Amino acid sequence: MTTDEPKKKKGFFARAFGRKSKDEKIAEEAALKAEKQEGIDRRMAERMAAINAAALKSAREMDETVEPNQTPEELAKIEADERQRAEEQAAHDVETAKRLVAEKKQNDAGALKKHEDEKVAQAREEEKRQEKERAQHEQAETDRLAKEALALQKQEDEIAKTKAQKLALQKDKDLAHKQEKLAEEITRKKDAAKREAEKLEKEQPEREALQEKQRLEDEAKKALVKTQAPTPPKDTPETKPEPTKKPGFLQRISAGLRKSTSRMSDNVSAVFNKRKLDAEALEELEDLLIASDLGVGPAMRVTQLLAKDKFDKQITDMEIKIALADVIAATLAPLEKPIILTDTKPQIMLFVGVNGSGKTTTLGKLASKYTQQGKKVLLCAGDTFRAAAVEQLKIWGERANAPVVSAPLGADAAGLVYDAIAEAKEGGYDILMIDTAGRLQNRTELMDELSKIVRVIKKQDETAPHHCLLVLDATVGQNAILQTDAFEKTAGVTGLIMTKLDGTAKGGVLVALADKFKLPIHAIGIGEGIDDLETFSAPVFAAALSGIADAVIEEN
């Protein structure tokens, strides 16, 4: 072991705590092994030298027995030579032993490396085998999942097919049920018509006798009047009856709203004829207006307007009517809007509403108006559930000189609308007016059919229907609010037309509708005649409904 090699610098912990680093420990172990090996080699050389010397000595002693006359000097020289040879032989034997040990170590290292290489090869083979097994397992799992997915998809297809079959069967049952009910309705109507005809036939002789009796009584009265009437002087010019004047717009609206006006105006006159306006009177007035279907918001605005200027003062019924007219006009004026046709052709107008609201009649009146203006109009009988609805629309079509597209009873209304739009485009029509089946707003399946019609229209023209007109029956009162809410959500209502205002005292509901939904009001119906669909005017309606129109008419 040499001492001139540079010593490695000890680390902080080795200097501080006397601990040795890993490299220092390895170096010390190597030095100890080298020192130990050097001692082993030295002892082995000494042993071999001793053995060789003993062997040489024994050989010399044998030689001495042969040659006894040798001198001591010769013997000493021989012994020295023998010792040198023994040491050389020992050194040679030590080198031989080292070489054998080195060869053995080399052979052991080669065997170890070969063994390690074999272990690495075995490990690689094992890893390849495990990778292959893992790949096979993953493939098997993938195949299993694919089979399960295929089976699940097949099961879902079977379920969907079963559902479709059940749905088709249910639709067939529903259609059969509808057809059965329709047949029963037709049979019932036929039986009723037959009974009515039989009744009229039985009553015919009695009716003719009454008519004859009435005729004779009328003739007798005329004869009596003729005999009693004074003869006019010959020089007196005969007076001619004045021609009957056609009532004006305000008069027609006022007459049409007579029931609603009387209900509201008469009650106001009865309660507030020269009465002091206090809190109790205002509350009573608000209740009266709400009961007249005016709506909570407008009723409160009327009482607030009066309380602002007239509170704790004497007030007349006319002052209340004027305040009422002001609030009604202010509520309705922003919504006073006639139906405006654009350049798009055909203009698609969809009429919706509940049974009996007057859709078909309103459609017919508007169709007559447009044809008189020179428009080319096509009608679509979208109410395929009632035979009477189709016949009624055809009658209006003849009056308006407008053709009607129809389908057999019970046909798909959406399909008919699709065909009507195609015909309107091909024929170059200006307006297509679509009638629909009356449906209650709380019947989900009927409202779904209306949604389907709207979807079909939009597939033909994304901007259509250009006008979706909700026709409301004034006689239903507050129920019109529920109808408007339902149809607006389903069909996207663009405007209102209120009919039958001449037959109800609930005309104030139009104010409540305007206050809640802010939908344009196009027209109002105040009679059954073809000219009784009036363009809506907020000031005229307010004057007529509040009762101040009567005073205006009387003055004129």
Provide the 10 A C-beta neighbour count for residue 64.
13
User: DSSP assignment, residue 177?
Assistant: H
Architecture of domain 337-536: 3-Layer(aba) Sandwich (3.40)
Q: Which residues pair with 408 in a beta bridge?
A: none
Q: Quote the CA–CA distance of 525 and 455 in Å, as a whole number.
A: 30
Q: Which CATH class is domain 251-333?
A: mainly alpha
Burial call 122-147: b when 16+ CB within 10 Å, e when fewer = eeeeeeeeeeeeeeeeeeeeeeeeee
Contacts of 69 (CB under 8 A, 6+ apart): none
Q: Which amino acid is at 105?
A: K
Structure tokens at 347: 């203009």
The Cα diameter of the chain in Å comes to 223
Tell me if 369 sits within 8 A of 497, measured CB to CB. no
Q: Quote the CA–CA distance of 396 and 265 in Å, as a whole number.
A: 37
* Listed residue (387, 253, 394) closest to 332, CA to CA: 253
Secondary structure string (H, E, C) spanning 348-417:
EEEEECCCCCCHHHHHHHHHHHHHHCCCCEEEEEECCCCHHHHHHHHHHHHHHCCCEECCCCCCCHHHHH
Q: Quote the CA–CA distance of 442 and 71 in Å, as a whole number.
A: 151
Q: Quote the CA–CA distance of 158 and 53 in Å, as a whole number.
A: 107
* Listed residue (477, 458, 373, 378) closest to 423, CA to CA: 378
Tell me if 471 sits within 8 A of 523, measured CB to CB. no
Sign of the torsion formed by the C-alpha atoms of 537, 539, 544 and 546: positive
Q: Which helix (H) or strand (E) holds 501?
A: none
Q: Quote the CA–CA distance of 229 and 293 in Å, as a whole number.
A: 53
- Please report the pLDDT score of residue 63 as a whole number: 59
Start-to-end CA span in the chain (Å) = 144
Q: What is the chain's pLDDT, residue by residue, as a tens digit (556 residues)?
A: 444 555 555 555 555 555 666 677 777 887 888 788 777 877 777 777 777 777 767 766 665 554 556 677 877 887 788 778 877 887 887 788 788 877 877 887 778 888 888 888 888 888 889 989 989 988 998 889 988 888 988 888 888 888 888 887 887 777 777 777 767 767 776 677 667 666 666 665 555 555 544 544 444 444 434 434 444 444 444 444 444 444 555 676 767 677 777 777 777 777 676 678 888 888 888 888 888 888 899 989 988 888 887 877 888 888 888 888 899 999 999 999 999 999 999 999 999 999 888 899 999 999 999 999 999 999 999 988 887 889 999 999 999 999 999 999 889 999 999 999 999 999 999 999 999 988 765 677 778 889 999 999 999 999 999 999 999 998 888 899 999 999 999 999 999 999 988 777 788 899 999 999 999 999 998 877 777 788 898 988 888 888 887 655 554 4
**Proportion of the chain in helix, strand, coil states, percent, rounded to 5:** 70, 10, 25
pTM check: above 0.85 = no
- Please report the pLDDT score of residue 223 as a whole number: 42
- Please report the pLDDT score of residue 519 as a whole number: 96
Q: What is the pLDDT of residues 53-75, one digit of tens each?
A: 777 677 666 655 545 566 778 77
Half-sphere exposure of 82 (CA within 13 A, CB side): 19
- Please report the pLDDT score of residue 245 as a whole number: 46
- The angle at the Cα of 554, spanning 550 to 555, to the nearest 5 degrees, equals 120
* Listed residue (534, 480, 440) closest to 295, CA to CA: 480
Q: Which residues pair with 535 in a beta bridge?
A: 523
How many Å is the Cα radius of gyration of the chain?
60
Q: Quote the CA–CA distance of 466 and 273 in Å, as a whole number.
A: 49
The whole-chain average pLDDT of the chain stands at 79
- Please report the pLDDT score of residue 216 as a whole number: 43
Burial class (CB in 10 A: 0-12, 13-18, 19+), 263: buried
Structure tokens at 287: 């209740």
* Listed residue (521, 256, 244, 466) closest to 347, CA to CA: 466
Structure tokens at 42: 């030295």
User: DSSP assignment, residue 272?
Assistant: -
95-98 contacts at long range (C-beta below 8 A, 24 or more positions apart)? 97/44, 98/41
Tell me if 453 sits within 8 A of 414, measured CB to CB. yes
* Listed residue (247, 264, 330) closest to 531, CA to CA: 247
* Listed residue (374, 377, 384) closest to 415, CA to CA: 384
Q: Quote the CA–CA distance of 526 and 60 in Å, as a whole number.
A: 164
